[in-house]
C-alpha cells in the first residue's frame, strides 16, 4: 500500500491489534458512514450488513474500537452515548436542543487543546471538550412560523 492509499477497515483493525471480524468491520464502517450515531442505530446498521448481532456484542466492540482510537465516544448531557468516526483531532460539537441533531465544529482557536484553562491545577491538558447548544436551522425556522 502506498502512502496515498487509505487503509481498509480490516487493515486499521489489524494495525491497532484488534482481531478482524465481519461484525467489527461492519461496525467501524457503520460509525464512519453515520452521523453521531447511538448504539441502537449502530446495531441496526451492522445487522443490515452482516445479519444478527447482539446489542451486548455491539457495546463490547464499540468499547474496543474507542479504546483503540478508531472511533470516538461522545457523551452529551441528558442523552445516550453517541459514536463518530472523526478521530485524531480535537473538534467540538453543536447540538440542537429541539431535535437532537449533532454536528461537528472545528477548534475554536489554535491547536489542540484549543482552549487554555484559566487554571490548570497542575494538569497537563491534552484535550478540551466543548459543546455548543442551540437550535439547528430547521428547528429555528419551525419555531418562528
Interval 57-100: pLDDT, tens: 999 999 999 999 999 999 988 889 999 999 988 788 999 999 98
pTM (predicted TM-score): 0.82
Note whether 128 and 113 are within 8 A (CB).
yes
Interval 97-112: pLDDT, tens: 999 899 998 876 655 5
Q: Are residues 135 and 108 in the same domain?
A: yes
Note whether 83 and 62 are within 8 A (CB).
yes
Percentage, residues of the chain above pLDDT 70: 88
Q: Count structural domains, the chain.
A: 2
Confidence of residue 132 (pLDDT cuts 50, 70, 90): confident
For position 127, which CATH number holds? 3.30.1490.190
For position 19, which CATH number holds? 1.10.10.10
Confidence of residue 55 (pLDDT cuts 50, 70, 90): very high
Q: Are residues 20 and 68 in the same domain?
A: yes
1 located within any domain: no
Grouping H, G, I as helix, E, B as strand and the rest as coil, residue 92 is strand
Angle subtended at Cα 89 by Cα 88 and Cα 93, rounded to the nearest 5 degrees: 125
Cell representation of residue 3: 502512502
Amino acid at each position: 500500500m502506498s502512502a496515498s492509499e487509505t487503509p481498509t477497515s480490516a487493515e486499521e483493525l489489524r494495525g491497532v491489534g484488534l482481531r478482524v471480524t465481519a461484525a467489527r468491520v461492519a461496525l467501524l464502517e457503520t460509525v464512519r458512514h453515520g452521523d453521531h450515531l447511538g448504539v441502537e442505530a449502530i446495531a441496526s446498521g451492522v445487522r443490515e450488513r452482516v445479519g444478527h448481532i447482539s446489542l451486548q456484542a455491539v457495546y463490547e466492540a464499540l468499547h474496543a474500537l474507542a479504546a483503540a482510537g478508531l472511533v470516538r465516544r461522545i457523551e452529551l448531557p441528558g442523552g445516550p452515548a453517541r459514536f463518530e468516526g472523526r478521530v485524531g483531532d480535537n473538534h467540538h460539537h453543536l447540538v440542537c436542543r429541539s431535535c437532537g441533531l449533532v454536528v461537528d465544529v472545528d477548534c475554536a482557536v489554535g491547536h489542540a487543546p484549543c482552549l487554555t484553562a484559566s487554571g490548570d491545577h497542575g494538569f497537563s491538558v491534552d484535550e478540551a471538550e466543548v459543546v455548543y447548544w442551540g437550535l439547528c436551522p430547521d428547528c429555528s425556522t419551525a419555531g418562528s412560523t
